[in-house]
Each structure stands twice: as C-alpha cells, then as structure tokens.
Amino acid sequence: MAARRFSFLTLGGALAVGVGLWTYVSLTRAYEDDLLVPLTVVSSPNQALLSTVPLTLTVRVRATGLQLLNFRYFSQAAVCTLDLRRLRPTGPSTYTAESPDLLRGIVSAIPLRTLSVIPKELRLATGDLTVKRVPLRVHHNITCRTGFVLGSQPHADLHEVEVRGTKSIVERVQEWTTQRLSLEDVHESASMDVPVSDSLMSLINVVPSSVRVHINVQQSADLFVMDVPVILATSQNSASLTVHPQRVRILVRGGVDDVSAITARDLHAEITERPTTGYVRPRVLAPSSVRVIAIDPPFVRVVARKEG
C-alpha cells in the first residue's frame, strides 16, 4: 500500500509540473488580439471640437499571453491621445486622422505591438471655443448602515464647474453632474475625489475633471419637539377662526447632531384651507436636515371664534 501511495503522489506531482510548464509556455508565446483603448482628442487652445468621436478605438495588437492577460484583467493601462495640433489641416478647421496618426498616439504601460486600428480614419472639425460656468450636482447612490443616516446631501468643494465647447453645445448645458458615487453600508463621514461626468467628453471639456466630495454621516436619532404652534394661513379671514389644540408635538428623525439642534422655532405647522368637516391635518415645514415622522395629534379642529 505504501508503494501505491507513493506512485499516486508521484503522478500528481508530475501532472502539476506538466500543467505549470504548459501554462508557462502558453503565456510566453505571442498572440494577436483586439483591445479597446480610450480615445482623447486634443484641439487647439482657442478651438472646440465640433465632430462626434468614438469613446474607444479597437486596436489589433501582438503580445505575449501574459501581457494580454495583464492588460485585460489587471492594468488596462493604454490610452490613445490624438493631438490635432500635430496634424496638417485638410481644410478650414478640418482634419483627417489616419491609422498611422492614431497608432502613434497610443501609449501603454505594457509593451504591446500595435498592428491596426478601427476606425481606420477619423474626419474632425473644430470651431470657436465658448466657455460657461454651470452649477455642479453630486450624483450619488449611498446606502447607510442600519442606525445611520446622511446628515445632509453629499456636496463638493466647488459649486460650479467650467464647461468648454462650441457655442451651440455649451448654451444648452444648464448644469453638470459628477459620475455616480455608489457606496453601501456607510457608517462614518468621509471625503473623496470623484470624477465629473464624461457623458459628452467628445463634445465638451469640463474643468476641473474631478472634485472633492464630502459625505456627512451621523447616527440616526428621533426627537419629539414639544409646543409647536399651529398657524392659520387660510385665504379666509383667519381673525374669525381659531384652532384646537393650538399647539402640537412633532416627531422628527435625522442625524443625532442635527436633531439635537432642532427647537420649536425651527418647525412650522400650517393650515392653509378650512375643511367642511372642521378637521384638518396641519402641513409641517421642517429643515432639510431632518424628516418629519409624525404629528400629535394628527388632526386639529378649525372652528369659528366665539364673539364676546
């Protein structure tokens, strides 16, 4: 039995060595493959790109299996930058970039031999540059851990960004957003750099390309705010009406720091219409940092004030 176990171990070791040797030889061989490479077009300082260009190029490369594996699943460190200032215009503010021009613009951290590119030719036009500042909105999808809430909406250091492009495109832009910031199980405040949206990268240049976003996360807390006055704001003669009860208590929820700062002066319970039944639910206005959960009592009665 001992001799048989030795044979199995020997066979297993030989197979492992064989597989390892085969894998090594396969990865060191040269192969051809198609890779997607991001494309960036740089125009003259006072000119904007009018043409729509593809976001990526399909580049045929020749490299070892190990290099291709590294590129596809690890680094992907290759870009193509087409600088129109290095091309000779084919007409007034028009350029034609052919395959050699595109291949020369490819830079990769991994040694790759570029063979061909698709598309083989790009026809580009430029025009006068227009600059405009627009509000920046943080686009996010943040989920907090149970027991925690966002104390406020995520905000960036900059309230505006500069968009640059042709007049016809820039004038239609009313605001810009960051790329979607997706976070889960968040339970503490943080700050991070977030790129701005590149949805119109081929038509518009946005400055800066990234912003610092701050996330305010607090432990969740509930608070009953007592003695909030109910205000009559009806279109009728409010002097002839009265409310019972005249004060209510309101349950608010939010971050512990924000909730602890709320007082009755920060909340407003309003009645804007007099119902036929006499009972109405007040409309509660509260700071954006907290959320109204309940009002006690939920309904108040509006009656005519007694004379004398």
What are the Cα distances from residue 146, in Å, to 32, 149, 184, 219?
A: 50, 8, 11, 9
All CATH 2.170.120.30 domain ranges of the chain, comma separated, are: 2-128, 220-304
- The CATH code belonging to domain 220-304 is 2.170.120.30
CATH topology of domain 2-128: RNA Polymerase Alpha Subunit; Chain A, domain 2 (2.170.120)
Q: Please report the pLDDT score of residue 1 as a whole number.
A: 47
Q: Please report the pLDDT score of residue 167 as a whole number.
A: 82
User: Which CATH superfamily is 130-215 part of?
Assistant: YbbR-like domain (2.170.120.40)
All CATH 2.170.120.40 domain ranges of the chain, comma separated, are: 130-215
Residue-level pLDDT, tens digit, the chain, 308 residues: 445 555 666 666 666 666 666 665 555 677 788 888 888 888 887 787 877 788 889 988 887 877 777 776 666 677 889 999 888 888 878 889 999 999 998 887 777 788 899 999 998 888 888 889 999 999 999 999 999 999 888 999 999 999 988 888 888 999 999 999 999 999 999 999 999 998 776 677 788 989 999 999 999 999 999 999 998 876 655 667 788 899 999 999 999 999 999 999 999 999 887 666 688 889 999 998 899 999 999 999 888 776 65
